[in-house]
Amino acid sequence: MARFAIIGGHGKVALRLARLLAERGDSVDAVIRNPAHTADVEATGASAVVADVETLEVDGLAALLDGHDAVVWSAGAGGGDPARTIAVDRDAAIRTMAAAERAGVARFVMVSYFGSPDRSVPESNPFRTYAEAKADADEHLAASNLDWTILGPSSLTDDPGTGRIDTHAESSGRVPRDDVAAVAAAVLADPGTIRRTIRFNTGETPIAQAIA
């Protein structure tokens, strides 16, 4: 049985991932900022850990991650407030990477998006802050000593998962959140995905085969 920490544990992908991991017998600590979300998290079979990664420094984050086999970053500011986007999607993510190294948790899975890293978004575009924050975080992770995997799903839907993806697409399409969670669960079990960025749409290839 492995022990995983999911940062951003109340997110739609994170809740699905927690359930998948718990169902296969793993231990899951889902880190959430709002204690009102505890019941939602625990309904998946995970344990809720209330902590604000936006304000925790590296030492506090390292204590949070200590004893885990891997960390999954699935948190985000949700857009809207540029300052908070930078604080969460870039700064807190990078502090969590440093904390994982300090705590001896080598395995780090980043849930990003298909286009990252993208430095081409015009300053006039509201998406620019998010794109820059994710690019900074993803590039920092890829340059780290961690055993990282970066997931780049395309536009997310709430359609039922198919268990099949396309990792060869050259442009972003759509993919169910169910399948994003299934991909995250699969890469955690497959050391062959370490130090790889995996971009994907929904497709025809079974997930385990597609990521191999």
| Residues that are catalytic | 130
- What per-residue string of b and e applies to 7-43 under the rule 16 or more CB within 10 Å gives b? bbbbbebbbbbbbbbbeeebbbbbbbbeeebbebbee
The answer to whether 90 touches 137, Cβ cutoff 8 Å, is yes
Let me know: does 18 contact 12? Beta carbons within 8 Å.
no
The distance of Cα 152 from the centroid of its chain, to the nearest Å, equals 10
Long-range pairs of 160-166 with CB within 8 A, sequence gap ≥ 24 = 162/202, 163/206, 163/207, 164/202, 164/203, 164/204, 164/205, 164/206, 164/207, 164/210, 165/200, 165/201, 165/202, 165/203, 165/205, 165/207, 165/210, 166/200, 166/201, 166/202, 166/203, 166/204, 166/205, 166/210
